[in-house]
Structure 1
């Protein structure tokens, strides 16, 4: 499907919300009904309509939004659409623009172009860009000199700089950190090393990469355009930073004193770009509990069009619509916002649509560092993300057994005829790969509520980050139940007497105790 002009589409945007209500009324008589018993509570989520769910999804995953890539026009249109839905529902703006209340939380980003040349001489070896060498950051560089090994390069302590003056020197650091396991942790450690090396006036930083993420993936990912949260680094002379493939400890000699290298790269050009999270508040009804917040989050970005997506595509369809990932999740938080605003729960609700997930969890990481609600008052985050579904009889929850709200989630799913499958595809390490981890790392219990799947099989891979992930391929009867289950689970969690707690011994339990003063 090829993109059409956005101009006539903006007119349609103004009409779509009003038309949804008419569609809902006319469609009600023909829609399948959720099975309701005499004991089923009649909260608004039980009346959420398939027609409205479908209309939201078809807009957000339309060709005209061109894959909603962060920093591009389609992403900005999606953000505006979500904000206007919040406004129509009467949510209180949680952000601000130009010191005025707004639904937007603006984020200054940098667009970082891929390097177009790079090589490093180590003894008799020549490491080439796109093979053994990845350029992470920096401007044009042509350096030769003796290297200084700084351990992991994360501290001034015994395993770090040891009080040495490294101004103007070429530094070598071990990749990752002693504790880094997930991609997020590895990349965060790398950014911290670059920041410290830059502050100390180093000329370049070389990391010896031998971490768990395959080098082929690293090589492919960093040899294309990236987005990052803007930093205060000197943009005129940023630190040259490269990774080299140190599989089998091939370049261990760089840890020794007196080793010489030559490093030449074109650098990575940077430019500014804006994006935004979108956030609104539903105030709770309980005089005491309303000061506690349950966050409902989902990322609304996807991977865009053509080469920028980083994914192979056919010439006849270069738009990655992202119906499953994550228009479906964005629609679920919109529907939950509707249900919970019509009949408010005891605790307050922060509904936040996050940008930049596909380019490094940027929106959630920014939110965690610049929260719109104090993190100490945030008792739970129920995030939505997913590659798709292969089982429409269940929902899948990553972190169900860890985050203290299993009963509420299972009760909600059962009310709409769905089961719950915990911890799907454990080999994928999914808990630490989505926006929930930005909240979890701060200590907030934060599972990810996903469409039904148990493993990454062909049914998932067929659509995951593929151009055929279009609204036409969705089972909207299932999407409706998914949205209803999510909204009801949010209500049950917001109404429970006690806060959800991390399971004893969980890796994030200590962060939770520190946050909440337990």
Structure 2
């Protein structure tokens, strides 16, 4: 009898497991395949689009491709019937120069200013002496250390090296705050990133900043200016300056590291720097497609899927390939979202459309500070109160170098931050359908990369909308021109996109929306 009961239990368990899979969802997901993925990404990551930078004609071409595809497959425009939601932003433009003696240096190539550190009135600095102050550290601990020693900094141009010993005791903010408080004329910060010409972070740190029209950041921009320019310089500028002191950057850095002792000194030079700032209005767009729900009651609720479609554009300081094609970041996520839209339209053709409505947002300006999603939550086309969740997709076409059992993994971030219900659906769906490794190492509160706050989902989480961020991980081509089409694993991209589709299917057809049972984490 017990043997028969055991067999019956196993039979029921197997039935229940198979019933968890929805045959209509599986049939619809067949369009999420490598042929279709390659078709989208071959255009989005092509040289023709020149890196799809937000606020440029190249970014607009990518947006038009997405809108045209929505229309082709029958996804409706969500902006009063149109697809484009215009975002109004200000691009910060800098005019900057640095000279040592009679030698002029190139902005971004040899030095750069943080846009927010240049006031509208700009600056014009001249100096015949500079104070070299090592790493700019003051540590009053058990072994006192002071890179300034008895040197006065008021009215001086101060030259500092980037991160070094004891920085944990005296942060970058404290260094700059100390020099600003003591009224230094300017800071020349030797930053290795200036010399890593292929590093896309330069695009962020130099004069490519955008701020939303009407944003608090734009309104308070000049209030944030400390009145003391901070100019980031590379080795070329540093050595030109130090030549007058009969030394160079490598020698000084080695001496500081070997001795672990400060040795500030003044040296004579002929230095000048100027910078001015202007604001240019730009109008990138979010591309919004809409599928109406089929249930008379639930159709008023909406599930939001998002992926940012634009990227960094052209690296104007590189030699050779200068186009940031962004095949993985985020051509892969954008292609995945289009494939998911395809799958839902296949379901509609079969008479199995989603009960809730679905909004597909190809977001602009994620690389510029989550601009498109920030604009959307302040200008929503559908009620945020009726938005049940956001599934955000970024970089799903590659693997990283961190340890995994195999390549069949994806990072999930934020699923449990606001809603235990959403977390359960995300994990149960994967268990029922795709069985990928759901890696949550970036979801911990002390994640050093703080990825929960760094993509478009976060703007929805701040509104109390449950979110899940799907991410494939960092790799050596991140934010570099080498992030190319031919490095994408299309089978893996499709597996991940299918997981997100199945999760969207479950959420769109569930009898109840995910309950928000945790506090908003801002």
Q: What is the TM-score normalised by the length of structure 2?
A: 0.62
Alignment match, 1:72: 56
Deviations 1:301-329, CA, capped at 9 Å, x for gaps = 1111122xxxx74x221111111110111
Q: Contact 1:133/1:245 (CA < 8 Å) preserved in 2? A: no
The answer to whether the aligner puts 1:62 opposite 2:46 as a matched pair is: yes
Deviation at 1:114, TM superposition (A): 2.3
The answer to whether the aligner puts 1:397 opposite 2:412 as a matched pair is: yes
Deviations 1:177-230, CA, capped at 9 Å, x for gaps = xxxxxxxxxxxxxxxxxxxxxxxxxxxx99x9xxxxx99699964542322223
The answer to whether the aligner puts 1:268 opposite 2:277 as a matched pair is: yes
Is there any run of 5+ residues in structure 2 with no aligned partner, and where?
Answer: 1-16, 99-109, 125-179, 184-188, 195-200, 231-272, 348-352
Q: Contact 1:138/1:241 (CA < 8 Å) preserved in 2? A: no
The answer to whether the aligner puts 1:105 opposite 2:85 as a matched pair is: yes
Alignment match, 2:35: 51
Alignment match, 2:120: 139
The answer to whether the aligner puts 1:487 opposite 2:501 as a matched pair is: yes
Is there any run of 5+ residues in structure 1 with no aligned partner, and where?
Answer: 1-35, 119-128, 144-204, 209-213, 248-263, 454-459, 509-518
Give the Cα–Cα distance (whole angstroms) in 2 for the partners of residues 437 and 449 of structure 1: 13
Q: Contact 2:415/2:466 (CA < 8 Å) preserved in 1? A: no
Alignment match, 2:379: 370
Give the Cα–Cα distance (whole angstroms) in 2 for the partners of residues 476 and 105 of structure 1: 30
Deviations 1:42-76, CA, capped at 9 Å, x for gaps = 32014422100111111111111111111122211
**Equivalent residues in 2 for 1:168-179 (5 A)?**
none
Give the Cα–Cα distance (whole angstroms) in 2 for the partners of residues 481 and 465 of structure 1: 24
Q: Match for 2:484 among 461, 465, 470?
A: 470
How many positions carry a matched residue from both structures?
364
Deviation at 1:484, TM superposition (A): 1.2
Give the Cα–Cα distance (whole angstroms) in 2 for the partners of residues 59 and 376 of structure 1: 36
Deviation at 1:281, TM superposition (A): 0.9
Give the Cα–Cα distance (whole angstroms) in 2 for the partners of residues 135 and 507 of structure 1: 27
Deviation at 1:411, TM superposition (A): 3.5
Q: Match for 1:278 among 287, 299, 308?
A: 287
Deviation at 1:40, TM superposition (A): 3.9
**Which of 275-284 and 336-345 deviates more?**
336-345
Instruction: Report SS of the residue matched to 2:412.
Output: strand
Q: Contact 1:137/1:241 (CA < 8 Å) preserved in 2? A: no
Alignment match, 1:457: none
The alpha-carbon distance between structure 1 residues 242 and 493, as it changes in their structure 2 partners (threshold 3 A), is same
The alpha-carbon distance between structure 1 residues 50 and 113, as it changes in their structure 2 partners (threshold 3 A), is same
Give the Cα–Cα distance (whole angstroms) in 2 for the partners of residues 341 and 498 of structure 1: 23
The answer to whether the aligner puts 1:242 opposite 2:225 as a matched pair is: yes
Alignment match, 2:424: 407
* Aligned residues: CA RMSD: 3.7
**Equivalent residues in 2 for 1:111-130 (5 A)?**
111-116=91-96
Deviation at 1:482, TM superposition (A): 1.3
Deviations 1:431-490, CA, capped at 9 Å, x for gaps = 001111111111111221122x4xxxxxx3312111111110111111111111111111
Alignment match, 2:391: 382
Instruction: Report SS of the residue matched to 1:68.
Output: coil
Alignment match, 2:461: 440
Deviation at 1:265, TM superposition (A): 6.8
Alignment match, 1:301: 310
The answer to whether the aligner puts 1:420 opposite 2:438 as a matched pair is: yes
Give the Cα–Cα distance (whole angstroms) in 2 for the partners of residues 88 and 132 of structure 1: 45
Alignment match, 1:12: none
Q: Contact 1:364/1:435 (CA < 8 Å) preserved in 2? A: yes
Q: Contact 2:305/2:359 (CA < 8 Å) preserved in 1? A: yes
Q: Match for 1:337 among 315, 336, 341?
A: 341
Give the Cα–Cα distance (whole angstroms) in 2 for the partners of residues 131 and 137 of structure 1: 11
Q: What is the TM-score normalised by the length of structure 1?
A: 0.63
Give the Cα–Cα distance (whole angstroms) in 1 for the partners of residues 227 and 300 of structure 2: 49
Deviations 1:226-270, CA, capped at 9 Å, x for gaps = 22223499x9xx9575247899xxxxxxxxxxxxxxxx9743112
**Equivalent residues in 2 for 1:312-327 (5 A)?**
313=318, 315-327=319-331
Instruction: Report SS of the residue matched to 2:415.
Output: coil
Q: Contact 1:139/1:266 (CA < 8 Å) preserved in 2? A: no
Q: Contact 1:136/1:222 (CA < 8 Å) preserved in 2? A: no
